[in-house]
Structures are given as structure tokens and as C-alpha cells.
Amino acid sequence: MTQVGIIGAGPAGLMLSHLLHRQGIASVVLERRSRDYVERRVRAGVLEQGSTDLLASTGVGERMTREGLAHDGIKLRFAGEEHRIDFRRLTGRGITVYGQQEVIKDLIKQRLADGGEIWFDAEATGVEGIDGDHPRVAYRRKGEEASLTCEFVAGCDGSHGVARVGLEAKSYERSYPFSWLGVLAKTPPASNELIYAYHERGFALHSMRSPEISRLYLQVDADDTMDAWPTARIWDELRVRLAEPNLQTGQVIEAAITPMRSLVTEPMQCGRLFLAGDAAHIVPATGAKGMNLALADVKVLAEALTAWYRSKSRDLLDDYSDRCLRRVWRAEQFSAWMTALLHHDPAGDPFDHKLRLSYLRYIVKSDAAATTLAENYVGFEVA
């Protein structure tokens, strides 16, 4: 028995249990993978100011402040040109490049230091009784079936989770005819800023994790597998698309293909079950919003649960989904727009290609257009 049963130890689940603990609310996090697995899983890497503020102000930002890379802009490359979008000048804000698995490590360390309960290798198999006062999470751990009784359940179990199943909600969805091949490589970043490259052969992105480690992405066909992408081909393609003379090959630490998807579940709650992060919504990675949305959701959820435990008022809990969805839809629109702007359409409409180039030129010539990109990228406050 606990107050809040949390499914999933990603950024959403771990941050929620940390925020609840700070308000004296007990939780148990059920995670189907091992601690080692979640701490090594390579994911996103861009934090908006609101996310860094949340980590820092709740005592889990010390290493991020030290090791995170502060960026004040990005580079756009297309048609042999390079232009910088100066976020700081246009919006007064910047971003921090800090790997999601580092956020995970910092949160797990803090939760365990605070005596928090994270049950690794415990897979939730279903959620029951969400219309009553004591919902239950059925789970399997070390081959044994059991269930955890709680007062609330937070489904923070990512895009393939179980919490969403059975929720009476509508899904709004879009798939894309391409995926991203992501590479983590032991080579110093070739540029001090992220490079978003639009190329006729497809999109490419140069990012980083540290002064020694680069994070690189290539648009590939939706049905491509890694067999089609031997290491030499990856580097050749990155060289052509990024057109970055300083790019050096290095040992590939990790390489995987991730599909591009947009999905929103509405509402994000039912009875005593609340979804947060990828469990409720997915964005294509082009806008770098996934981790930020996950953290923003649980900040709202923690406030609502705190209000309930203080005064037994359900008002904030009832508003949870509406409050989150305003930010979610802003991020969905921005992510779909960035994706459409920067990816080559495999169906190959030359008219669209010309429109994209024209819009990119507009962005780099007009502060109004550049500000639209910049203020969404750094995190637009909808409320």
C-alpha cells in the first residue's frame, strides 16, 4: 500500500516521485527494466530553461549545472549555406544539452538517498479500480504476480506502456514516412552548437553529450533496419548532409533507429489514473520536446496531488489534463512543423522541396520568423 503508485522510472516517473517526496507524499515506482538498463539507455538531450529550473530548484541539478552544456542558439544548414538562430538575442533564453540518462542517474541517486522506493525489474501488467478510492497496479516481479494498492496511479510508462490501455480517451495520431538513425560516437563535437541540416538526401542533426562525445542523427526510411546502415555508410552520409569539415569519425558507442511519431491521448486522466510524459503523448524528436513535456506534466501533477493531500480538493486534479494539453499541443504543432520543414519527403514532391527552402531562407532573414522558431524551441509558456 502506498499513496501514489508510479509506473515507469523515466524522467516523468522519477521526477514525480521526487516532487511528491518533497511534499511528504509517499510513492512507489515500478520499473520493468533494471537500474543499469535505464541508466544506460540513450535518449534525448535538450533541456529547456523551465526543465533546468525545475531540476535545480528541487535539488537535483547540481551535476547538470556543472556538466550540462549551455547553448544560446542553433545552426541551420541548407543549400550550401549556414545561418545561426540566436535564441538569446531573440528570446533572452537558452537551452542546456544534458543527456536524458544523466537526468535519470541524478534522479535515481537522489531518490535512493532519500529512502525512496524504486522497484526495478517489476513490470506492471495492468491497472484496476481507477474509479474507486484504492486503485491497484498489477505487476510481475521475479516471476511472481502481485499487486500494489494505492490512492492514485501515475502512468509514466512511456510510449509502449500499459497504463493507457483501458483509459477511455481519444487518440490523435500521425506517423511519418521516415525514422531517425541515432548514433552516439566517441568523437569531439565538430561544432560548439547543434546543427540542423536540411539536405536533398535527407535531414541530419549534429548534437553532443560532452566535449568528447557526439550525438548524431540521420533521416532514414521508415522501413530501414540497421543492416542497411553499416558504420562506413553512416559516416559518409553524415559528412555529405552535415557538410561539416570538422566532423571526425570515431568509435560508435551506440546506434539505433527510432520511428517518428506524433500522438496525443485526450484526456490524460480517468478517475484516479493520471498519465504523464510519453505515456500520454509522443512528439517527433526534431523539436527536442519529449523530455521537457514529461517534466512539465509531472510538475503539474505533483502540484495537483499536493493540493489534494493538503485540502482534499480535487479542483487541480480535475484540471490536470487541460492544463497539460495546452503545452502539449503547442509542442506537438512545433515538432510537426520542424519535422515537415527539415525532412526530405521520400514521395519526392519538388514543389514542397522549394517551399521548404524558401521558408528556411525566410527564417534566416526575418526576425519575426526566426523568433517563432526560437521561442518555441526554448519553450513557449502557454499559460
**Segment lying near ligand PHB (by CB under 6 A), choices 55-63, 159-167, 283-291, 350-358:** 283-291
Pairwise CA distance, residues 196 & 373, whole Å: 13
Residue 373: HSE in the Cβ half-sphere, 13 Å Cα cutoff? 27
| Pairing of β 204-208 and β 214-221 | antiparallel
**Segment lying near ligand APR (by CB under 6 A), choices 28-36, 62-70, 198-206, 300-308:** 28-36
170 grid coordinates: 481519444
Please state whether the peptide bond connecting residue 267 to the residue before it is cis, i.e. omega within 30 degrees of 0. yes
Q: Look-up: residue for cell 493531500? A: 309
The identity of residue 194, as a single letter, is L
**Segment lying near ligand APR (by CB under 6 A), choices 10-18, 224-232, 259-267, 364-372:** 10-18
Q: Please report how close the Cβ of residue 369 comes to ligand APR at its closest, in angstroms.
A: 26
**151 near ligand APR (CB under 6 A):** no
- With CB under 6 A as the contact rule, the residue among 44, 90, 153, 373 that binds ligand PHB is 44
Q: Please report how close the Cβ of residue 360 comes to ligand PHB at its closest, in angstroms.
A: 16
Q: Please report how close the Cβ of residue 249 comes to ligand APR at its closest, in angstroms.
A: 27
Pick out residues in 74-133 that bind ligand APR (CB under 6 A).
Answer: 100, 123-124
**Segment lying near ligand APR (by CB under 6 A), choices 67-75, 84-92, 221-229, 271-279:** 271-279
Nearest to ligand APR of 34, 248 (CB atom): 34
- With CB under 6 A as the contact rule, the residue among 71, 164, 199, 215 that binds ligand PHB is 215
Q: Is the dihedral of CA 120, 122, 126, 127 positive or negative?
A: negative
Long-range Cβ contact pairs of 292-295 (< 8 A, separation 24 or more): 292/46, 292/47, 292/48, 292/50, 292/51, 292/331, 292/379, 293/327, 293/328, 293/331, 294/10, 294/11, 294/12, 294/15, 294/156, 295/11, 295/12, 295/15, 295/50, 295/51, 295/54, 295/55
**234 near ligand PHB (CB under 6 A):** no
Pick out residues in 153-172 that bind ligand PHB (CB under 6 A).
Answer: none
Residues near ligand APR, by CB under 6 A: 7-13, 30-33, 38, 43-44, 100, 123-124, 156-158, 161-162, 277-279, 290-291, 294
